[in-house]
Structure 1
Amino acid sequence: MKTLSLAILLSTTVLGSAFADEFKFSSKVDSVTVFPRGAEVERVASGEMAQGTHTVLIESLPANISADSVRVEGMSDGDISIGSVDVRQVYLSRDKNPEDRLKLELQIEALNDERMRLEQVVADTDLQRHMLQNLIANAGKPNQGGAGNSLSALEVADLLDGAAERLNAYAQRTIDARANQRDIERQIQDLQNQIGQLAPNEELRSVVAINLDAKDAGQAVLKIKYAIDDAGWQAIYDAELTLGDGADPKMEIVRRANVRQSSTESWDNVALTLSTARPSTRTAAPELSPYEISQIRPMPRSASKVQALEQGVRSSYADGVEAEELAAVAPMNDMAQQVAVMETGGYQATFAIAGKVTVSNTGETKSVVMGEDSFAVDVSALAVPRLDAAAYLIAGFTLKGDASYLPGPVLLLRDGAYIGRGQMPMLAPNDTYDLSFGQDDFVTVEFVETDKKEGETGLISASRTDERRAVTTIKNLHNFPMEVTVVDRLPVANHEDIKVSMLAGSSKPTKEDVDGKRGILHWDINMEAGATAKVDFGYRVMWPKAMDISALN
């Protein structure tokens, strides 16, 4: 087949007058490339074309497709060229089973008729009750003309007994009718909910109109590509650490992607590709405007209020625009799996999922496997005894290969047991990272504050002092050596008259101001199996007596 020549002029129009010789080609989603935010969809349509100028309509596309992203290309066994491509918006009926709606509406109509009948039963019963009550009330009264009532006392008693029985029957009839009415109202509400769950009668959709010039009759195969916003994927990881006897610890990481889309089309059995590119973000750096500082000149009060109001409106508008542009991507959830093949090039990595994949348009997520990596790790323990008397198992690794790790949650397993969730940061190839695998019960930590002194020094210019000392005891209960890092902090003075010093006899820290954080100290201890180590750390704070400082802890 020959490639259709392209002379595409894209335009977006609202459905107006129909084109001459319009043909509707059925189409299906063939492949999708999903970005962290957004996706590019490719549909395939085919059909026979007669000689002449024709317009092919591709219907039922999502209403919110980006019109300027629509691209059309194709193949033909004849001489066919593509002219302009128009994107229209139309209302289409989604009532696929109108007989279901009609059936529900007829049921509601019948139930309403029955409810009206029951209402009439209640009204008739009330009328009968009132008539009977009037008869009873007049039973003992003299007849018209002054004659006495001919009923004896026994007859009156029988009449009252019969009236009571009849009134009870009337009351029960009313109760039954009201109960039936409530049941009917519930049935009607349920049927109305079912109607509400049916698709609306009309829905806004896009139609792509492709103008073709066929100099020869032939078979045409068209590929229509367009971008949508209602889709995306997020990285998620399974990390399993195997310690064994400690001689050769390993970590396996399974890279997954949670894919979701909530457009008006379903992706059924499509070729799915995941890309790390971000076409929906900025394509160029923002331009920084000059920042001027000017003298504020006095002005009349009324004019000042007007200017302040206008400036506030402008500032609010600018803040709103910036916040909208920098909106964060929502996170996504787990579902089923597939396997991917990775390709890297330029500034992105793509992962082609093997086989065909179905992703529904309900907004639920489908989980697919992007790859598996195995790492040799450096196992250690980290303890921050001042805050938590526990040691945490750390697996340090270096990312190899060509693909980066995107930020995302990581499910942590240790020797086959699930221990919780962590967070993977953005990692580039050759980056190193320490992944925490929860508390290590075979490394015990005990923190004891051994000394606390407060006092004053000097006679003329008295100063106040505060001394603190604590001892941390660590035991390695593993049957293999373990490096343990103990973290503590030395107070940092933000005033020249406040003096902070480490007490004599304190264990010398291995690192100071770790990661650029002032006062953070590390003690790295290589511990043999079954060994015990202690970290003795104390400090003194001295400041003028007349000065109030923040509380020490």
Structure 2
Amino acid sequence: MMVRLVKTAGTLSSEPGMKSVTFALTLTCLWPVSEALADRIDLNAPASSATVYPDGASVTRIVEFSAPAGQHQLVIPDMPAGTDPAALRIKAEDVTLGSVELQSARNLPDHATQPPAITAAQASLREAHDAVRQFDRSQQALATRAEALRQRAQITRDLLQGDSRLPADEIPETVERMGALIEDLLAQADEQDHQIAMREPDRQPLLEAIDRAEAELAALREDSSNHETLILTVEATGQPAQIAITGFTNAAGWQPDYELRLDRQADSLTMQRGVTVWQSSGEDWSDVQLTLSTARPQSRTDPTHVPSWMPRFGRPDATEDMVMAEEFSAADAQRGANLEMAAAPIGAAKMSRMGITVVYDYPGRVTVRDQADSLRLTLDEKQLTPDVMAEAAPRYDDSAYLIAESVNATGEPILPGAVTLYADGALVGRSQIGLVADGDKLRFGFGPIDGLRAEIRLPEEIAGEDGFIRRSNTMHETATLIVENLTDEEWPLRVVDRIPVSRQEDLRIEWSAEPEPTATDPDGRRGVLYWESPIAPGQTQEIVLTTDLRWPDDNELLR
């Protein structure tokens, strides 16, 4: 039995039933038949499908071939440079898989068949050179024709000057006839020169075509040199066979990108969902089936290890010992966390929604170029039911803002990403949206409403810089919140302000408001107050908010 050192590790599957067999090889046992006697089959395996995660991608290649029954060596030279052999997963159908080798440090003894893309680029370069040569030949033919015409005119002129045998009465007619011939010949020669000059600009595009073909060939050759070669030894059955090769790359990712369109007249909020996909894996993904997954195979799978905490008390001079004990405990906790992280396995890609993982199968096929700009793809469109209002915070802003609140009723989570906002057809701006679970509330701001002015007024003659009157152990503020509607429409208005919140029993806080707020501590935001009511065109609303703070003597208020 022969033994050969190989580099790779991965998962093998073979007939019958495509049962997967995991391998992690440093030595591979080969069949007794010498590989030198095996037929060699050169194949190309471009990417056919990709599952892209937020921070990586699984790329699958499908190799289909037919071979007579017996042992064969499959040579696949277009694996991207940097392919991780430990991440390779190989499944074979209608063929038995033997040894697997990934070559990067050296080439095969005899080179694999040249990639078809390079062959096509070489043919294009030859065609470009042929086009220039053909053009130059046609230009030269015109120049030769012009020179021949001028020589004929010169010969005719020489004959006319040297012929003295003509009768005197025929000389005028002969001169006229020969002169007309010379003139016609020279005119034809000039026309050839004119054609040459008119055609000369057509040469530059042909030269540029050569430059493009040379650049394309150079890029393909460089790309080819940056690839690794996968060598599979198989036992064929004589039937058409298929091998699926899946690898993982860190150099890829995707993120959501949204458009939100608020139409107040139609009372609708339309969310157009898209994604931006990028990759720099070392190869173009041409015409691949794309799947987007929210799984993060490279992230931690376990929570942080929480160590025990055992505090103690002692004499003041034992402080140093306590500090050392705390530092030891912290170091031990960190070691535990590191051990947990090191033991975390790599997660597997999921091709359907399972638990908290969401998968999008993009319809049709797409092309994602290597190291190119991000590709934006449109996913779908969702309709949300908005609650539209104008919201003013006079303590901080001088205008009210257009707000739309809704509930995520899409049946799936809204993932974090950038969002472009439109209000009544006009572009408002760009923002970010966080994760919104299915059924959770969401809120979007669509910019200021210039006709809804907001301000806060404080009694200047008695107020300090922040509106408070201070004494040794008291503080008092009376603030007037004002919103004025200068638009020609009625708005549902929410005015937002806050009062201080005490977390100490001896810090006493009293407040009053006229009118009373319609909501206090909304969504658990302690001390926040809402006043909600419509505001008509030309109307001004005022809210008077009074706040008093009192604390023990010989203490200071810490902001």
Which category describes the TM-score, using the shorter chain as reference length?
0.5 to 0.7
Q: Where does residue 273 of structure 1 map in the other structure? A: 291
Corresponding letter in the other structure for 2:369 = S
Listed one character per residue, the Cα deviations across residues 327-353 of structure 1 (whole Å, up to 9, x for unaligned) are: xxxxxxxxxxxxxxx975554332222
Q: Give the secondary-structure state (helix, strand or coil) at the position aligned to 2:240.
A: strand
3-state DSSP of counterpart to 1:491: coil
Report the CA distance between 1:28 and its aligned residue: 1.2
Instruction: Report whether the alignment pairs 1:454 with 2:474.
Output: no
Q: State the AA in 2 paired with 1:355.
A: G
Residue 254 of structure 1: aligned partner: 272
- Correspondences of 1:57-76 after superposition (within 5 Å): 57-76=75-94
Which structure 2 residues correspond to residues 102-113 of structure 1 after superposition, within 5 A? none
3-state SS in 2 of match to 1:515: helix
- Structure ranking higher in helix proportion: 2
Give the superposition deviation at 1:355: 2.6
- What is the CA-CA distance between 1:272 and the residue it aligns to? 1.2
Could you report, residue by residue, the CA deviation over 1:518-540 in whole angstroms, capped at 9, with x for unpaired residues? 32222222334543322111111
Match of 1:408 in 2: 417
Which of residues 210, 218, 231 in structure 2 aligns to 1:209? 231
Whole-Å separation in 2 of the counterparts to 1:474 and 1:546: 40
> Residue 236 of structure 1 aligns with which residue?
257
Paired with 1:325 and 1:430, the residues of 2 have a C-alpha distance of: 35
CA contact (8 A) 2:305 2:340 kept: no
Partner of 1:282: 300
Deviations 1:399-451 (A, max 9, x none): 22333210011111112221211111211222221111111223221221136
4+ aligned runs moved over 6 Å, structure 1: 14-18, 92-97, 196-204, 294-299, 303-326
Q: TM-score, normalised by structure 1?
A: 0.65
Supply the distance in 2 between the matched residues of 1:513 and 1:241 (Cα, whole angstroms): 28
Residue 150 of structure 2 is matched in structure 1 by none
What percent of counterpart residues are identical? 27
Structure-2 separation of matches of 1:225 and 1:431: 37
Letter in 1 for 2:242: V
Q: Matches of residues 366-377 of structure 1 in structure 2 within 5 Å?
A: 366-377=375-386
Of 470, 484, 507, which aligns to 1:475?
484
Provide, for residues 453-495 of structure 1, a one-character-per-residue CA deviation record: whole Å limited to 9, x for no partner: 6365xxxxxx633221111122344555432222212123344
CA distance in structure 2 between the aligned counterparts of 1:422 and 1:440, rounded to whole angstroms: 18
Correspondence for 1:519:
527
Structure 1 match to 2:242: 221
Contact 1:13 1:89 in 2 (8 A): no
C-alpha distance in structure 1 between counterparts of 2:255 and 2:228, whole Å: 28
CA contact (8 A) 2:302 2:340 kept: no
One-letter amino acid of the counterpart of residue 247, structure 2 = Y
Contact in 2 for aligned 1:454/1:464 (Cα 8 Å)? no
The AA in structure 2 aligned to 1:235 is P
- 1:442 aligned counterpart, secondary structure: strand
Q: Does the C-alpha gap of structure 1 residues 207 and 9 become closer, same or farther in structure 2, counting only changes over 3 Å?
A: farther
Q: Indicate how the Cα distance of structure 1 residues 546 and 56 shifts in structure 2: closer, same or farther if over 3 A, else same.
A: same
Residues 1:10 and 2:60 are matched in the alignment: no
Q: Which residue is 1:548 aligned to? A: 556
What is the number of residues matched between the two proteins?
A: 423
Read off the aligned partner of 1:213 and give its amino acid letter: E
C-alpha spacing 1:319/1:64, structure 2 compared with 1 (3 Å): farther
Q: Is the 8 A contact 2:72 2:234 kept in 1?
A: yes
Is the Cα contact below 8 Å between 2:41 and 2:75 reproduced in 1? yes
**Which amino acid is 1:392 matched to?**
Y
TM-score by length of 2: 0.64
Paired residues of 1:29 and 1:41 also in contact (CA < 8 A): yes
Flag the 1:73–1:454 CA change in 2: closer, same or farther, 3 A.
closer
In the alignment, is the contact (CA less than 8 A) between 2:20 and 2:91 conserved in 1?
no
1:116-127 → structure 2 map (5 Å cutoff): none
Residue 333 of structure 1 corresponds to none
List alignment gaps of at least 5 residues for structure 1.
101-195, 327-341, 457-462
1:122: which partner in 2? Answer: none
| CA shift for structure 1 position 386 | 0.9
